[in-house]
Structure 1
Amino acid sequence: MSDAPTDEAATPNLSFEGSTPYEDYVQASVLTHLQHPLSDEPGEMAFLVTTQVMELWFTLLVHEWTTAARALRQDDLPTAMAALHRSLPELESLNASWKPIAHLTPGQFNAYRSALGEGSGFQSAMYRRLEFLLGDKSASMLVPHRGTPGAHAELEKALTEPSLYDEVLRLLDRRGYAIPADVLNRDPSLRYEPHPDVERAWQRVYAADDQDSDLIRLGETLTDVAEYVWRWRNDHLVATRRAMGAKTGTGGSAGVAWLEKRATKNVFPELWTARSHV
Structure 2
Amino acid sequence: MAPSSRAHQPPGPPPPDPSPPEDADAAARAHLDLTRSLSYGDYLHLDTLLAAHRPVTGAHDEHLFIAVHHVSELWLSLIVRELQAAMPLLAAGVTDAPLKGLTRVVRAQEQLTGAWEVLKTMTPADYLQFRSAFGQASGFQSAQYRMVELLLGNRDPVLLRPHAHRPDLYAPLQAALHAPSLYDLALRLLAARGITLPGEVLERDFTARPEEHPAVLDAWLAVYRDPEHHWDLYELAEKLLDVEDNFRRWRFNHLTTVERTIGFKRGSGGTSGAGYLRRALDVVLFPELWQVRTSL
TM bracket, shorter-chain basis = over 0.9
Q: Tell me if structure 2 keeps the 8 A contact 1:103–1:243.
A: no
Cα deviation 1:71-106 (Å, max 9, x = unaligned): 101111111111111112111111111111124332
Do the aligned partners of 1:129 and 1:158 also contact (CA within 8 Å) in 2? yes
**147-156 or 225-234, larger mean C-alpha shift:** 147-156
Give the structure 2 partner of residue 87 of structure 1: 105
2:159 aligns with 141
Q: Which has the larger radius of gyration?
A: 2
User: Is 1:171 aligned with 2:168?
Assistant: no
Q: Distance in 2 between matches of 1:18 and 1:274?
A: 60
CA contact (8 A) 1:104 1:239 kept: no
Alpha-carbon offset, residue 157 of structure 1? 1.5
Task: Find out whether 1:187 has 2:187 as its counterpart.
Answer: no
The partner residue of 2:63 within 37, 45, 68 is 45
1:76 counterpart residue number: 94
| 1:123 is aligned to 2:155 | no
Look up the SS of the partner of 2:275 in the other structure.
Answer: helix
Change (3 A) 1:15 1:201: same
**TM-score of the superposition, structure 1-length normalised?**
0.93
Change (3 A) 1:243 1:211: farther
Deviations 1:161-213 (A, max 9, x none): 21111111100111122122111101222222221211111112111162881
Quote how far apart the aligned CAs of 1:5 are.
Answer: 8.7
Q: Partners of 2:72 and 2:279 in 1: how far apart?
A: 22
Verify: 1:219 aligned to 2:240, yes or no: no
**Whole-angstrom distance in 2 between the partners of 1:5 and 1:244:** 52
Residue segments in structure 1 that go unaligned for 5+ positions in a row? none
Q: Distance in 1 between matches of 2:57 and 2:139?
A: 19
Give identity over the alignment, percent: 37
TM-superposed deviation, 1:271: 0.5
Matched length: 278
Provide the rounded CA distance (Å) in 1 between the counterparts of 2:26 and 2:50.
Answer: 33
| Equivalent in the alignment of 1:101 | 119
Q: Distance in 2 between matches of 1:193 and 1:248?
A: 30
Q: CA RMSD in A?
A: 2.1
Work out which of the residue numbers 149, 161, 170 in structure 2 matches 1:152: 170
The whole-number CA distance in structure 2 between the counterparts of 1:103 and 1:187 is 43
1:241 alignment partner, one of 255, 259, 263:
259
Q: Please tell me the residue identity of whatever aligns with 1:31.
A: L
User: Do residues 203 (structure 1) and 221 (structure 2) align?
Assistant: yes
Instruction: Tell whether 2:78 aligns with 1:55.
Output: no
- Mapped to 1, the partners of 2:30 and 2:223 lie a distance apart of 55
Could you tell me which amino acid in structure 2 is paired with residue 263 of structure 1? Answer: L
Letter in 1 for 2:115: S
CA contact (8 A) 2:223 2:230 kept: no
Q: Structure 1 194/111 Cα, relative in aligned 2: closer, same or farther at 3 Å?
A: same
| CA distance in structure 2 between the aligned counterparts of 1:194 and 1:104, rounded to whole angstroms | 40
Q: 1:15 aligns with which of 23, 33, 48?
A: 33
| Contact 2:227–2:234 (Cα < 8 Å) also in 1 | no
Deviations 1:215-239 (A, max 9, x none): 1111111111110000000000100
Distance 2:236 2:219 in 1: 14
Secondary structure at the residue paired with 2:154?
Answer: coil
Alignment-derived partner of residue 281 in structure 2: 263
Cα distance in 1 for partners of 2:132, 2:80 equals 31
> Could you tell me which amino acid in structure 2 is paired with residue 33 of structure 1?
A
